[in-house]
Structures are given as structure tokens and as C-alpha cells.
Amino acid sequence: MSELIQRVDLIFGEYSDQKYKVLEEALKRPNDDIIKDLLDSGLKGRGGAGFPTALKWKFTAEVPSDEKYVVCNADEGEPGTFKDREILSRVPRKVFSGMAICGKVIGSNKGLIYLRGEYKFMLPELLKELDTYHEHAKKLNHNFTIEIRLGSGAYICGEESALFESMEGKRGEPRNKPPYPTTSGFMGKPTVINNVETFVNVLMICRIGPVQFRKLGTTDSRGSKVFSVSGDTPKPGIYELELGMPLFQFVDEFGDGDTKAVQVGGASGFCVPRKKFKDTIIGFEGVPTGGSMMIFNSSRSMYNVLHNYLDFFEEESCGQCTPCRVGCQQLRKGIEAVKRGEKPVLYLEQLMKLAETMKITAKCGLGQSVANSFSSIVSNFKEEMIY
């Protein structure tokens, strides 16, 4: 790997020599101390939205309740993302420990992992590892159990409130917000929900301390990130890299020499064309990503790429609110009509306005983020939409 790109070995780094040692040490510390470390570390959620983890935990800890939950979001449905599976299969102990620390900090004794149905084959291994965790938790006198719930093939269930609905045995339809999960999550109880990778980051902050953690990344994007690299690249795969890297460095490393565009953050993320590689930072200050990096070279039709994403959204929209249910369909039909020459080129402007309207009127993040890929692809590759 070139010298510009910093490989990191935090998430996938070796376990501590003694099983559940970091957890054991964390359990002895005052809760405020742990929250302060998380705050100092600058850790933001790795599921995409980037909410500061320390605040999420602090808010939930402050709500009085007889019952609270810790939920690990392993739904990983965003096209181009496959890093949570890798984390859960290579370092499951770190995930369980992160959840157990959360249980202590917020005062919960129940953890749940929502694993997408597509990953059901991982269950035997995970359950075996969980048995070991439960043995250790008992030894440490930590009353916190973890259970795995399976999804059944619905991308929207990765949205936190839809995930709660699903675990409650209902259709995975997102709820109105507020109230937020910190006060009313699973079963209406205060809940911390974090991405798989976020929990591992918490554990590593407990292990190496916030000062060491802050050395990685940039002011707005602290730490490392696990990237899922796919598409036109000679080395597709999973890479743990520092956050805050300029896109051109990424393309130098992973592109095939003919990279036309990179879709950062999956179908609901942004498409960055070659001319903007230089000024684009991968991170919360630039284009954020849950880890999905799809690379396209000049042989690819960006119309096909966009059409594929729109098909995806149309199918995965829960159908609950009109802007998204109808909007996704109309955007797809719209670009088809322009392509066939049935609508004038100017119609694309109208479609972009529709996408922007969806951004402000849709009920949840799915409908709100269709505009990201739609507008970034249409405005940067207009000719490809027409000819």
C-alpha cells in the first residue's frame, strides 16, 4: 500500500491476551469517566449518520427507567457495505464487550443484536462465541445478557425505529421522531442503538485511551474506519484506514487507472466524479460514508448505475409516506422517459426538484437520501442520462 494511505489495525487488531480483559477493567470504572473518554475521543457513529456516541449514551443514561436496552445494528443493507459481517466474524468478542460496557454505562441488562437475514449462516459461530461471553459476564458479575434477532430481507429495517418495530414483531415501518430512541426505543424504553463498528470503537477507546484514538483521523473525523471497497478495482475487499483522507489518494490506491466516479456511502450516498476527486475528503467534513466505496471506470454507464439504485429504493421503500413511495417510482420512470427521448432534457431539472422535495418531506432517512445519489449522478453525468 502506498505511503500516503495509512493502514490501521485497531478494529481488527489482536484481542487482548486475556479474554474479556478490557471489559473487566471498564466495569471497575465510574460511568462518567467512560462517557468522558468517549467525548474526548470524538467518536461518531459508524452506521452513517455520525451522531456523537458519547452524547447518545449520556442522554440514555440520564433517563430514569426500570428497563433499558442496548441494540447492535447489524442489518448492513446499504449496497456496497459488507464490513459488519467481517467484524462480527473476526472480532465478535470486541462487539459483545462494547455492548456490555454500554449496558453498564446506561444501566441496562439486556442487549440485542439485529442481524440481517442474509447473514443467518453466521449464527452457529456467533452463538458459540456468545456462550463464552455469557460465561465471562457471569464470572465478572456483570448482569448483561445478549441475544441475537434475525431480520428477513428488508433494507429499511436498518433504520433504527424500523428496526425496533421489526424486533417487536411488526412491519418494519419507521416511526415519527421525536421521540428519539434515547427516551423511547425498543418496546418504548430508553435504548442505545449503535452500529457494529461503533461498539468496537468504544472498546478500543477503553483499551488505548482517547488520546491515542484521537491521533487517528482529522478534527471532524476521529479514528479509523473500515471501508468496503468494490466495483472496478484490482483489489476489492475490506480495509481499515484513517478517516479524513482525500478521495484522490483513495482512487490512486484502489482505482484501476481509469476511474470515472466513486459512489461514496452506498446507494444513499454521493457520487463523486473524477474532476472532484482532488477536493473531496472522505469523512464527516466532506462526504460521509458508512464504509461503502463503489468504484466505476469509464466503461460503465452512470445511467445504469442510477437506474439500479432507483430500482433498489423503489423496492425497499416501506411505502408508508407518499413522497418516498411515489417519488422513487416517478424518478425511475422519469429518467427512463428522458432516455427514450419522450421527455426533454430540461425534465431532469424537474426530477432533481422532486428529489429535493423528497429530502424535506419524506418521513425517514431512506426517502430523504434518494436525492443524494440522484442529484449527484444526474448533475455530473447529464450526457449519460440523455444519450
Partner 1 sequence: MPNNQDNLIKELVGTYGRERTSLLPILQGVISQKNFISDFDMTEIAKELDISAAQVYGTATFYSFLDTAARGKYVIRICKTITCDMHGRKEIIQTIENMLKIKVGETTQNKIFTLLETNCLGWCHKGPAMLINDQPYSELTPEKVHEIIAEYMNNNRR
Binding site for ligand SF4 (CB under 6 A): 156, 174, 317-321, 324-325, 362-364, 366-367
Residue 326 beta carbon to ligand FMN: minimum distance, rounded to whole angstroms? 17
Residue 115 beta carbon to ligand SF4: minimum distance, rounded to whole angstroms? 21
Question: Which residue, among 166, 209, 155, 186, has the nearest Cα to 366 in the 3D structure?
Answer: 155
DSSP of 208-254: H-HHHHHTSB-SSSBSEEEEEEEES-SS-EEEEEESSEEHHHHHHHH
Q: Which residues contact 66 (CB under 8 A, 6 or more apart)?
A: none
Nearer to partner 1, 27 or 162 (CB): 162
Binding to ligand FMN by CB under 6 A, coded x per residue (else -) over 171-200, reads: ----------------------xxx--x--
Q: What are phi and psi of 164, to 5 degrees?
A: -65, -45
What whole-number distance in Å separates Cα of residue 240 and Cα of residue 106? 29
Nearer to ligand FMN, 191 or 280 (CB): 191
Residue 304 beta carbon to partner 1: minimum distance, rounded to whole angstroms? 8
Residue 99 beta carbon to ligand FMN: minimum distance, rounded to whole angstroms? 12
Residue 142 beta carbon to ligand SF4: minimum distance, rounded to whole angstroms? 37
Q: Which does 203 bind (CB under 5 to 8 A by kind): partner 1, ligand SF4, ligand FMN, none?
A: none
- Which one of the spans 45-53, 113-121, 177-185, 271-279 is the region binding partner 1 (CB under 8 A)? 113-121
Residue found by looking up cell 450526457 in the block: 383
Helix (H) or strand (E) holding 194, with range, is: strand 191-195
Nearer to ligand SF4, 7 or 177 (CB): 177
What whole-number distance in Å separates Cα of residue 338 and Cα of residue 327? 16
Helix (H) or strand (E) holding 26, with range, is: helix 21-27
Contact residues toward ligand FMN (CB under 6 A) are 45-49, 51, 73, 75-78, 156, 158-160, 193-195, 198, 364-366
